[in-house]
Chains A and B, each alone.
Chain A
Amino acid sequence: MREEIISIKNEAMAQIMEAKSVSELEELRINYLGRSGKLTSLIRKLKEIPSSERKEVGILINDSKNAISKLLAEQKNRLGEGARVWFDPTIPGVRPPRGYTHLVTKAINEISKTFEQIGFVRVRYPEVEWDYFSFGSLNMPQDHPARDEWETFFVDTPSHPTYGQMVLTPHTSSGQVREMKRVKTPPIRMINIAKCYRRQIDASHIPMFHQFEGLVIDKGISIAHLKGTLDYFARNFFGKERKTRLRPFHFQFTEPSFEVDVTCGICLGKGCKVCKGGWLELGGAGMVHPFVLKEGGIDPKKYSGFAFGWGVERTYMMKSGLSVPDVRLIYSNDLKFLTQF
């Protein structure tokens, strides 16, 4: 059978080379590759040969078929009309102007998509906020030393009789009590992404940045659920093999409170030159303090919850492995920077 195939192939190739018109080529195609063409009918005979040889013969038929098809196409182009007109297909294309959405927009889109997949509802709360929502309702009374960590901007305007001073919100946690008041009856699964402001500027701090805040409240919410959610986020946002861990920390508005780490993307937790200990710090989290639930009008005897709030820019840098040496660049409006992403 092998010789038969080779002779059919050679015969076909010779005839194609000699063909003088497109219609002649079409006849040849039908003759060899058509439904009852010479090569096609050989395929049907494959069943008759011993199975040990079948594979090899099959490959030979296929190769021959491809060679004939290719030659047919080449000959067809050579004989066709177009061949007489000069055309340069290598000339560069004229591209439409390319636009760019900002790194922060991309980050926010990816983060919100990840959480929306497990039923979180995206919201946005005021950027200019009352002290009450930024601190007081979060179990941080006036003059509490814990406030030192939030380098807060204050607005020069009279204080509200109940809500206190006007501030630029230093974190998205100010949305916690607002969300509780909006939803009233749990379940709550909030993802609040907003601009935040802190009075600091250096290579790793900017006065304006973005945070995303997760808040889950329902019956029987436990630390295990927080771990589950963080691991889900790590797997889907950072990559399949990534894991998170909790370390003890302290925030006034969560009890217990945690610092969350994610395994380094390079060594996956073993420790390497880039990450040192194998883990990278993501940000804070905790179980919602009963004081905060009460401020939000939710009965802490019936419901419990967890919350976490991290920087959008930092988290995205960690995902994409972009090592931007100075975060101020992100908000520099320099086209040379913006058009890289």
Chain B
Amino acid sequence: MNILVSDIWLRDYLKTKASQKEIAKYLSLSGASVEKVEKGVYSIEVTTNRVDAASVYGIAKEASAILPGFGVKARLQPIKVAPLKFSGRVWYLMAKVDPNLCSRFTAVLIKNVEIKDSPASIKERLSAVGVRPINNVVDISNFIMHEMGQPVHTFDYDKIKKATMILRPSKKGESLTTLDGKTHTLAGNDIVIEDGAGRLIDLAGIMGGENSAVDEETENVLLFVQTYNPVNIRKTSMSLAARTEAAELFEKGLDPELVSLGMTRGIELFEKLTGGKAEKKVLDIYPSPYKEKKVKTDLDFITSRLGLEIEKTKITKILTSLGFKALWKGKILEVGVPSSRARDVIIPEDIVEEVARIYGYQNLPSILMQGALPEPLANAPFAFEGKIKDILKGYGGIEVYTLSLVDKASVYSNALKLKNPLGKDSEYLRMSLAPSLIKAAKENSGEETFHLFEMANVYLPKRGELPTEKMILAGIFRETPYRVAKGIVEGLLTELNIPFEVFSEEAGHFAPNRHLYIKSHAKILGEFGELSQGHLYYEFSVESLTSVAKDVGSFKGIPKFPPQIEDLTFTFPERTRIGEVIDSVRAKEKLVKHMELTDIYKDAYTFRLWYQHPTKTLNDREVEEIRKKIIAGIKEKFGAIN
């Protein structure tokens, strides 16, 4: 949480000559992070575990421990609890309190209060931290909350029927109107206060009830300072979306000992600002007062975590400056934890943190680990994935990262759906990259020709388990001839040393007659073709590619005898599949080492053939024999004219 602390206010409790800039810098290095200082106001990020520091007084305590480490003198001006009489029973209020919801309950009656404006010093301090002054009673509550981090509430005493309060969990369906005029219907287990007439008068820890609020006519005020169970407060505050400052403090678990300080300060301010008179006895229901918690650790543990030898006396000095007690028995250290830090400092590691930050992280050494190295990951996919991307980049591909969250139209009916999507267009976890890439291609329709590719997981649901995250490589082309696009796919597979074949079969989402499966060792690796809406598209399972790819091509002996190379031209009837023509020659003629389509002119296709024998040079007569067989085969099977 972020808090504002004004410099003037801070110096009420922090006695130092340090400049604002120094305070900001040193606090950030060893305590709470000061985001900025503007017009004498520090904007400070206080982490959730340090709610004890979320106030002027809390920051003063921190700074008084931190500054000396940087050679700057600083002293805390402590708030002392006035000699008040705290008592479990008072004449003016009958209270029944559920101790599980409220670990400390204090209240005092202040009579003959005069409601008016606060003095300038109070108004200025509040305005500087962004709180609008209202009147002395409201301002006192806000002042104490900002000064000490303890929310304080005030009731109009005369509106509490029969001077009775019952603090209890709410029942489901009960409702109450808070002083901002909003009516809340409660879910149950919210902390509420009921008066003697059975009315709910307070949504405790969040906001007071309208029916018991202080107004212009109020004469007698009940000043009310409590510690609530943080879990209940958080649930109520979240479910009612009532994120008040009080709730944000209470939900982090406040120190019950802070209540007496809040009460002291409250009575002091009330008597001074409103002319009211407080009762001598303060009601204080505190069934289990704080007993000092101890954390045991030792010198070796601390030095091993710091990576540095540090003296016992230095550790003691640091801990006591933060309000801890340090008791040594040889190397064993027993740390007494003050109530304000009891929720945060529990294990020896917490002691390490306190010592290290005040000692100064900048004063610790910086060294690399020694010791054994871990084993590499078996079958790590990263190098292979990188290789694919580099190959496609080399072919002119442009890599994209599209959002894996898509709309309903882009997934199958079993796709995983989000409970809290940002919008309808990103409600589902995608099962294919195609819709995303089509979208990306459309978004770039101003460009002439391109090849986009992406490698990303798709999420395939499994009942009762996490989805399978399948790494997919997919690409899409715009204004690219079929043979060029297919050549890129063939080139990629060839560079990955994957032997492959294609077969044509209809598939959903692809135009009729324009879809191929790509297979290797009888296993389907992926597909290529023209999508129904027009783009050429390919998609592969990266894992399948890995399983058949080879890092290095296999070695074949270099042929000792030269090939004879020649071109043959055929004219085919319409609807002839040239891929099948080439396959048929390769399958039948073992002495044709290689066959390539080199030219197409109208319906005439020119092939280049490499005739080669492993153990001799073929002579013209032998080549002619093979050629005759090829021509005859093609004529017969495909009805070609040579």
Residues of A that sit less than 8 Å from B by CB: 96-102, 104-105, 109, 112, 118-119, 121-124, 126-130, 143, 145-146, 153-158, 160, 166, 168, 183, 186-190, 195, 197, 199, 201, 207-208, 216, 218-225, 227-232, 245-250, 255-259, 287, 289-290, 304, 330-331, 333-335, 338-339
Contacts and interface: CB of A to CB of B under 8 A. Distances in A.
B367 A224 contact: yes
B495 to A, nearest CB: 14
Given A195-B457, A222-B305, A245-B362, A99 B395 contact: yes
A287 B47 CA distance: 17
Contacts of A259: 33
B402 to A, nearest CB: 6
Given A221-B369, A225-B368, A227-B364, A102 B49 contact: no
6 contacts: A157-B416, A250-B47, A250-B48, A333-B439, A335-B398, A335-B447
Contacts of B456: 195
A261 to B, nearest CB: 9
Greatest chain A CB density within 10 A among B50, B395, B397, B399 is at B399
Interface stretch (B371-379, B505-513, B527-535): B371-379
Contact of A220 (B304, B361, B364): B304
Interface stretch (B344-352, B537-545, B611-619): B344-352
A255 B403 CA distance: 34
Interface of B: 28-33, 47-50, 231, 234-235, 251-252, 304-308, 347, 349-350, 352-353, 356-357, 361-362, 364-369, 371-377, 380-382, 386, 389-390, 392-405, 416-422, 426, 429, 439-440, 443-444, 447, 450-452, 456-457, 459, 461, 464, 466-467, 469
Contacts of B369: 118, 189, 216, 218, 221, 225, 228-229
Given A128-B467, A154-B420, A222-B307, A208 B405 contact: yes
B366 A224 contact: yes
Nearest to A149: B48
A232 B444 contact: no
A225 B307 contact: yes
B398 A166 contact: no
A151 to B, nearest CB: 9
B569 to A, nearest CB: 29
A339 B450 CA distance: 11
Nearest to A151: B420
Given A97-B396, A99-B396, A121-B374, A222 B304 contact: yes
B252 A145 contact: yes
- Which DSSP category, helix, strand, loop or mixed, fits chain B's interface? mixed
Contacts, number: 229
A292 B595 CA distance: 62
A108 to B, nearest CB: 9
B386 A118 contact: no
Contacts of B451: 97, 99
A160 B47 CA distance: 31
Given A255-B353, A287-B305, A99 B48 contact: no
B398 A255 contact: no
A199 B234 CA distance: 21
A143 B31 CA distance: 26
Nearest to B456: A195
Nearest to B362: A245
Contacts of A130: 466
A101 B368 contact: no
Given A98-B396, A155-B416, A250-B50, A224 B353 contact: no
A222 B402 contact: no
A118 B375 CA distance: 13
